[in-house]
Amino acid sequence: MAGFNAMNSFKWLSRSSRGLLSGAEATTQRCLSRSISTEAPASPDHSAREALLAKWAPKPVLATTYSFPSMEPVRFVQYPQNKLLVPLRKDLLHRAVVYEGDMTRQGTASTKWRDDVRGSGRKLRPQKGSGRARVGDKMSPIRRGGGVAFGPHPRDFSTDLPAKMYDQAWRIALSYRFKRGQLIIIDNEIDIPLDATPHLIKEIFKVNRWGHDYGRSTLITTRESPRLFDAVGEVGEHAKILSKDDVDVKDLLETGRLIMEKRALDRLLSEHSRDINSRPAKAI
């Protein structure tokens, strides 16, 4: 009987202790939840974390390179988004095209004003008494052999554009072509066989849909090969070829597509990334 009472008392103590422990654990959980909710901010969810990663560590752009003239895919190359995935800015493109047009204007038109014409400054006839209209000297613009009134003189038509804006316009033009699938990157050099005929070159453009019916194409290369330039020139209205040093923003937007060597693309991007590679000034 005594053993039975001792066993019951042990069970009651164990139950009461478990109840006390569970109550303490619940109190501790409530305190922790209150402290976490009042002191520590809630951690961002997965979507917010992905947005932060996309903002501060954007993924590179994958571009496919092709072999010329077979146009078989060769490999994938990576470019930063701030070089080949720049948002479209029509205002910057317009300013860059106008800037290039103003820089190419010669401004060499020249005429002789009345001060530049050779002749005497003597009055041709007296002011009064002849019954005719008054006249001046022979250099007057209304006289034959006289000067030109307000004619053009040599001048400079060039305008100013910040270098950072001009570099950004280059990357915007290339990004616009890339996003529309009109930028074709050649992994090797653009070259044609020695025995290539104009008919063969036209067939290359026709098969790849680079001809006039699909929009003219612009080939950009780093080579200075007269044979290559002459061969593409014989194609006529279907395409034009430019050296990397002769390319402008207008050339990137003028034709239907761009066939560009990877070496030329890399050089153009490196030359027009001064606003990206510039470092902030350090405090003295």
What is the structure's pLDDT at 232? 80
Other C-beta atoms lying within 10 Å of the C-beta of residue 68: 20
Percentage of residues of the chain with pLDDT beyond 70: 78
pLDDT for residue 18: 45
The model's confidence at residue 30, banded by pLDDT at 50, 70 and 90, is low
- The H or E element that residue 114 is part of is none
How high is the mean pLDDT of the chain?
81
Place of tokens 């103003």: 102
Determine phi and psi for 254, rounding to 5 degrees: -80, -45
Mean pLDDT score, 2-31: 47
**Residue 53: both structure tokens together:** 């990663």
- Residue 96's nearest CA partner among 249, 253, 245, 265 is 249
DSSP secondary structure code for residue 59 in this structure: P
Q: Which long-range contacts (CB under 8 A, 24 or more apart) does 148-156 make?
A: 148/111, 148/112, 148/113, 149/113, 149/114, 150/113, 151/111, 151/112, 151/113, 152/109, 152/110, 152/111, 153/109, 153/110, 153/111, 153/113, 154/107, 154/108, 154/109, 154/110, 155/107, 156/107
Name the helix (H) or strand (E) containing 211: none
How high is the pLDDT of residue 26? 53
Instruction: Give pLDDT, residue 230.
Output: 81
**Domain assignments of the chain as residue spans, ordered by start:** 54-105+160-277, 108-156
The letter for the amino acid at 130 is: S
Mean pLDDT along residues 34-58 = 59
List pLDDT tens digits, range 137-158.
999 998 888 999 999 999 999 9
Lowest mean pLDDT among 23-37, 84-98, 136-150, 259-273: 23-37
pLDDT of residue 264: 94
- 9 vs 135: which has the higher pLDDT: 135
Quick one: tokens of 226? Answer: 């007269």
CATH H-level, domain 54-105+160-277: superfamily: Ribosomal protein L4/L1 (3.40.1370.10)
For residue 77, pLDDT over 90 is answered with: yes
246 DSSP assignment: G
Alpha helices by DSSP H, listed for 57-135, are 81-84, 90-104
pLDDT reported for residue 100: 95
Using the 8-state DSSP alphabet, how is residue 127 labeled? S
Please tell me the predicted confidence (pLDDT) of residue 54: 62
Q: What is the rounded distance in angstroms from the CA atom of residue 133 to the CA atom of residue 138?
A: 14
Per-residue model confidence (pLDDT) at position 211: 77
